[in-house]
Amino acid sequence: MSKTVDQILRGADDSVTLINQINSGDFSYFMEGYTQAVVNRRVTDNVEYIESVLAYEEVEADERDKSSYTTAIATGKTYISNNS
């Protein structure tokens, strides 16, 4: 059974939320003591996940606004650059 575009994007929404939380200084997702390298890896993983989701043929063909995803990708990449 294949996933619908809604289901696929719902998963990417979690990545958008996490990237935005980390960028705003909310590290509640992480246990105390996590290093910046661990945080950066998590941001990178989520950026890569969103990029892969946006590359799905059915997602590309869908005409809904995807700016929240592209903005999160840019935000995540900037975060990594600023915190490496």
Domain span including residue 36: 5-82
Residue-wise pLDDT for 56-82, tens only, equals 999 999 999 999 999 999 999 999 999
For the chain, what is the domain count? 1
* Residue 79 near residue 19, CB atoms below 8 Å: yes
Return the DSSP state at 40.
H
Extract the tokens encoding 12. 């990417």
Q: What is the pLDDT of residues 4-37, one digit of tens each?
A: 899 999 989 999 999 999 999 888 888 888 899 9
- Could you give the C-alpha distances from 51 to 25, 27, 30, 33, 67, in angstroms and in order? 23, 23, 23, 29, 12
